[in-house]
Amino acid sequence: MKHNENTKTDKQDRERRMRATIKKAAFHLMAERGIDQVSMREIAEKVKVTKPVLYYYFKNKEDLCRSIVEEHEQKFFVLMEDAYAKGHGTEDVLKLLLKAHLEFFRKEPINSKFVMQMIAYTLNKQFPPENRQPAPEVLLGDYLAKKEQDKRLPAGAAADISRLISALFFKVMVNSYVDTYIYGGKRGTSYDENMIDRLVKIILLGIKKYYEEHEK
CATH C-level class of 69-215 = mainly alpha
User: Residue ranges per domain, the chain?
Assistant: 1-58, 69-215
The CA distance from 3 to 77, in Å, is: 38
**Domain spanning 1-58: CATH superfamily:** Homeodomain-like (1.10.10.60)
pLDDT in tens, 36-73: 999 999 999 999 999 999 999 999 998 999 999 889 88
pLDDT in tens, 172-196: 999 988 888 887 766 666 788 999 9
- Range from 8-17, 81-90, 130-139 that averages highest in pLDDT: 81-90
Write down the pTM of the prediction: 0.83
Q: Which residues contact 123 (CB under 8 A, 6 or more apart)?
A: none
